[in-house]
Amino acid sequence: MKIGILETGFVPEDMQGEFKSYPAMFEKMLGAVDPSLQFESWSVLIDQFPASINDADAWIITGSKHGVYENLPWMVRLQALLRDIVGAGIPVFGVCFGHQILAAALGGTVVKSDRGWGIGVHEYTLANDAPQWVHNAPSSMKLHAFHQDQVVQLPANAKVWASSDFCPYAGLSYGDNAASIQPHPEFSHDYENALLQSRRGDIIAEDLAVIAEKSLENPVDGGSFATWLLAFLQGHQNRKAA
């Protein structure tokens, strides 16, 4: 199976030696579940787009420092691409900015939230009718968060499957082949902390940084999420084989 990764943001330059890229994080996370997976990335934020929606069996959209409401040319092109992927029934999963731009592409609204920054390990409640690919769905999960923007108006066909008081629309699904999550299952504690420290006292207020840093003492459910995400991405192949 080949997974295409649409790269919408770069790891800060001074951190790339240790952490490389967001596509590399997804490759590591999913490769740990299935080493036979193949990956290819396209840096859409510098206008590198796949030639066809069929260049991969399934797609992931990464996080980014950008806001969907900036409406940059590459974002407009990406939204059109996502609508084509969804319309063709090919699995596509968005994370953070990817979660937001998928919602925008399908008719939702994204804003810089007046709730402020969500940083550190956050806990999300899973809906009782969470998607089938969330195997043996627990009542909640913990994942790394790092965002200000939020989806505030849902597309007409969206279903909420994960939420928190801070982020009510944290997990969304659109039928069988499109879904997304606001937090970052691909982040490690080390990367979350490095990103926090790089913005501490400048972008991130000290009182919030202290709380976020303390939250990193909690374990996250990234391993379980990797299994769920792969089940989602493989869903189209499994339905074709049935």
* Alpha-carbon gap, residue 111 to 80, rounded angstroms: 20
Do 94 and 100 touch, CB atoms closer than 8 A? yes
Q: How many structural domains comprise the chain?
A: 1
In this predicted structure, the answer to whether residue 211 has a pLDDT above a threshold of 90 is yes
| SS (HEC) of the chain | CEEEEEECCCCCHHHHHHHCCHHHHHHHHHHCCCCCCEEEEEEHHHCCCCCCHHHCCEEEECCCCCCHHHCCHHHHHHHHHHHHHHHCCCCEEEECHHHHHHHHHCCCEEEECCCCCEEEEEEEEECCCCCCCCCCCCCEEEEEEEECEEEEECCCCCEEEEECCCCCCCEEEECCCEEEECCECCCCHHHHHHHHHHHECCCECHHHHHHHHHHCCCCCCHHHHHHHHHHHHCHHHHHHHC
In this predicted structure, the answer to whether residue 240 has a pLDDT above a threshold of 80 is no
Single-letter amino acid code for the residue at 215: S
In this predicted structure, the answer to whether residue 241 has a pLDDT above a threshold of 50 is no
Give the domain range for residue 139: 2-241
Q: Which pLDDT band, with edges at 50, 70 and 90, does 242 fall under?
A: very low
Q: Which pLDDT band, with edges at 50, 70 and 90, does 186 fall under?
A: very high
In this predicted structure, the answer to whether residue 77 has a pLDDT above a threshold of 70 is yes
Between 239 and 91, residue with greater pLDDT? 91
What pLDDT score was predicted for residue 236?
57
pLDDT per position as a tens digit, 34-75: 999 999 999 999 999 999 999 999 999 999 999 999 999 999
What pLDDT score was predicted for residue 135?
87
What pLDDT score was predicted for residue 137?
82
Please give the structure tokens belonging to residue 6. 């649409």
pLDDT per position as a tens digit, 144-178: 999 999 999 999 999 999 999 999 999 999 999 99
CA 152 to chain centre: 16
Q: pTM score, two decimals? A: 0.96
Q: What is the mean pLDDT of residues 115-141?
A: 94
Q: Which residue's entry shows tokens 């969206």?
A: 158
What pLDDT score was predicted for residue 202?
85
What pLDDT score was predicted for residue 238?
55
Q: What percent of the chain has a predicted confidence (pLDDT) above 90?
A: 94
Q: What is the mean pLDDT of residues 182-195?
A: 97
CATH number at residue 79: 3.40.50.880
Between 239 and 82, residue with greater pLDDT? 82
Q: What percent of the chain has a predicted confidence (pLDDT) above 70?
A: 97
Q: What is the mean pLDDT of residues 86-99?
A: 98
Please give the structure tokens belonging to residue 238. 């499994």
> What count of other Cβ atoms lies within 10 Å of the Cβ of residue 199?
15
Mean pLDDT of the chain: 95
